[in-house]
Amino acid sequence: MILASQLVFFACIWITLRPDAFAASEIEKSHQRCSSSMKRTRKQEARMRKDDSTNWLRQSEQLLHIQDHDFAMRPGFGGSPVPVGIDVQVESIDSISEVNMDFTMTFYLRHYWKDERLSFPSTTNKSMTFDHRLIKKIWVPDIFFVHSKRSFIHDTIVENLMLRVYPDGNVLFSLRITVSATCFMDFSRFPLDTQNCSLELESYAYNEEDLMLYWKQGNKSLNTDEHISLSQFFIEDFSASSGFAFYSSTGWYNRLFINFVLRRHIFFFVLQTYFPVMLMVMLLWVSFWIDRRAVPARVSLGITMVLTMSTILSGMSASMPQVSYIKAVDVYLWVSSLFVLLSVIEYAAVNYGSNSTRQARFSFSKSGSFCRLAGMYNIDRVQAMAFNGCYHDSKTEMDQTSFSLHSEEDSVRERSTGSPSPDSSQIKRRQFLRGHVGRIILENNHVIDTYSRIFFPIVYIIFNLFYWGIYV
């Protein structure tokens, strides 16, 4: 009984699920038929488009009599050179690289010439426009860019080429191209410089006996977009010119020039380089107002400024080409670094003078009484040196001794008489100061800081006036 019930259960399930299985198989078969029909439709459409394109190209070739002529040769071969007019529409200057000394430009290049082999009858005298497919079958000028590093014709969505033929055989060939070319830059005045760059066009195979290259409308043949701008440069001028180029093996060639003048924006470098360097130099002058006994404060400030200047110098060198001459920014940075170094040396001199003065005062306190006695009793200076190391050079120390003796006599006289000597103390003091200015400056070495507070700013201001007056 149990077995029979199980068989009945499975039979019911099979009867229930069988129509769904049939339906699924039918749906899958219909999908396969639809996909195969869609593939056939796509193939047929592609074949039809190809046939239409082939028919259109064949009709164009028949209209222009392309099969009847040899377009591997230039128009009028064997006769006078074929004139080829050029005009350019500059779309953008994409980049200027100082490190690589090059620029990248995108523009529309248009060629004009006449090829009577392409003339066709027309009652309306209207031109016919073709795309890149027909260009490969006719003769076009072989223009290349002198000193170019890389170039490409834009191909979004299709190749940006256009051919327009007029009934009388005049041809217009236009393309949109991006070129990276060399610009020979002079950085002797960087970043206060002005650069002159040019893009040069020339025929590669045809010299002046076969092809005459010229600007179609003179200087008006070069047009630029009004919205062209660069981050670091201001475009001062665009101009067109022409000339000749000579090659010893092939002769003279016509050459066209697209010239443009770039003046660098100085405001960026003032904020990024000049102004920080000025602040570093001026900040170090604060050390002239710090007490000379505060050695850690003044030394740490000087070392910090030296390291900061080194960082600015290395950063500027990394962003510039390695040229063999001195740039304007190098002059400013190195002179500013010299001011920083002199400020550090100034404190070294002050500190050394302070130590010498302290040692001299300490030794004088030990041997002062003996030296004073030696001066009073005219003891020979060699004997004095032998006794206690005090050296009487000349009348300088004798003046000092006499000054001290007279001071003592004046004080005794004041105590006894009660009235000061009117002339003797002032005269002796003046004579002593006149003969010992150097010693006073040494003992009062903070005077060096006082003079440095005035000397360093004045000299740095004079340097800035000369620098900006010469380079700007």
210-259 pLDDT, tens digit each: 999 999 998 889 999 888 888 889 998 899 999 999 999 999 999 999 99
User: CA dist 352 to 178, 216, 241, 305, 447, Å?
Assistant: 66, 78, 67, 21, 14
pLDDT band at 388 (very low <50, low <70, confident <90, very high): very low
**Two structure tokens written together for 213:** 């290259």
Q: Does CATH number 1.20.58.390 belong to domain 269-364+462-471?
A: yes
Q: What is the mean pLDDT of residues 288-302?
A: 83
Q: What is the mean pLDDT of residues 106-120?
A: 92
Q: What are the tens digits of pLDDT across the range 413-446?
A: 544 555 555 556 666 555 555 555 455 544 555 6
Predicted local confidence at residue 396, as pLDDT: 41
Give yes or no for residue 18 having a pLDDT over 90.
Answer: no
**Two structure tokens written together for 36:** 């195969």
Mean pLDDT, the chain, integer: 77
Among candidate residues 151, 237, 152, the one with its CA nearest the CA of residue 195: 237
Q: What are the tens digits of pLDDT across the range 180-203?
A: 999 999 999 999 999 999 999 999
**Two structure tokens written together for 273:** 């380089």
pLDDT band at 351 (very low <50, low <70, confident <90, very high): confident
- Portion of the chain with pLDDT greater than 70, in percent: 66
Burial class (CB in 10 A: 0-12, 13-18, 19+), 306: middle
Q: What is the mean pLDDT of residues 148-176?
A: 92
Predicted local confidence at residue 467, as pLDDT: 96
Q: What is the mean pLDDT of residues 331-353?
A: 88
Burial class (CB in 10 A: 0-12, 13-18, 19+), 358: exposed
Predicted local confidence at residue 78, as pLDDT: 84
The residue with greater pLDDT, 12 or 293, is: 293
Predicted local confidence at residue 275, as pLDDT: 93
Phi and psi (nearest 5°) for 392?
-95, 105
C-alpha to C-alpha distance for 465 and 195, rounded to whole angstroms: 25
Q: What are the tens digits of pLDDT across the range 215-229?
A: 999 888 999 988 888
The residue with greater pLDDT, 262 or 396, is: 262
Q: What is the mean pLDDT of residues 317-327?
A: 83
Predicted local confidence at residue 253, as pLDDT: 96
C-alpha to C-alpha distance for 195 and 187, rounded to whole angstroms: 9
- Of the ranges 97-101, 364-368, 372-376, the best mean pLDDT one: 97-101
Predicted local confidence at residue 218, as pLDDT: 87
- Return the domain boundaries, the chain: 82-264, 269-364+462-471
Contact 175, 162 (CB under 8 A): yes
Predicted local confidence at residue 30, as pLDDT: 54
Phi and psi (nearest 5°) for 420?
-75, 150
* Superfamily, domain 82-264: Neurotransmitter-gated ion-channel ligand-binding domain (2.70.170.10)
Predicted local confidence at residue 291, as pLDDT: 80
Give yes or no for residue 14 having a pLDDT over 70.
Answer: no
Among candidate residues 385, 358, 357, the one with its CA nearest the CA of residue 371: 385
Among candidate residues 300, 334, 303, 305, the one with its CA nearest the CA of residue 317: 334
Give yes or no for residue 447 having a pLDDT over 60.
Answer: yes
The answer to whether the pTM exceeds 0.85 is: no
Contact 222, 180 (CB under 8 A): no
Tell me, rounded to whole angstroms, the distance of Cα 410 from its chain centroid.
75
Predicted local confidence at residue 46, as pLDDT: 53
Predicted local confidence at residue 424, as pLDDT: 60
pLDDT band at 57 (very low <50, low <70, confident <90, very high): low
**Two structure tokens written together for 309:** 């200047």
- Portion of the chain with pLDDT greater than 90, in percent: 37
Predicted local confidence at residue 310, as pLDDT: 86
Predicted local confidence at residue 450, as pLDDT: 86
Determine how β-strand 148-153 pairs with β-strand 194-203: unpaired
Give yes or no for residue 179 having a pLDDT over 80.
Answer: yes
Q: What is the mean pLDDT of residues 156-169?
A: 90
Residue 222 burial (CB count, 10 A): 23
The residue with greater pLDDT, 292 or 389, is: 292
pLDDT band at 207 (very low <50, low <70, confident <90, very high): very high
C-alpha to C-alpha distance for 64 and 224, rounded to whole angstroms: 34
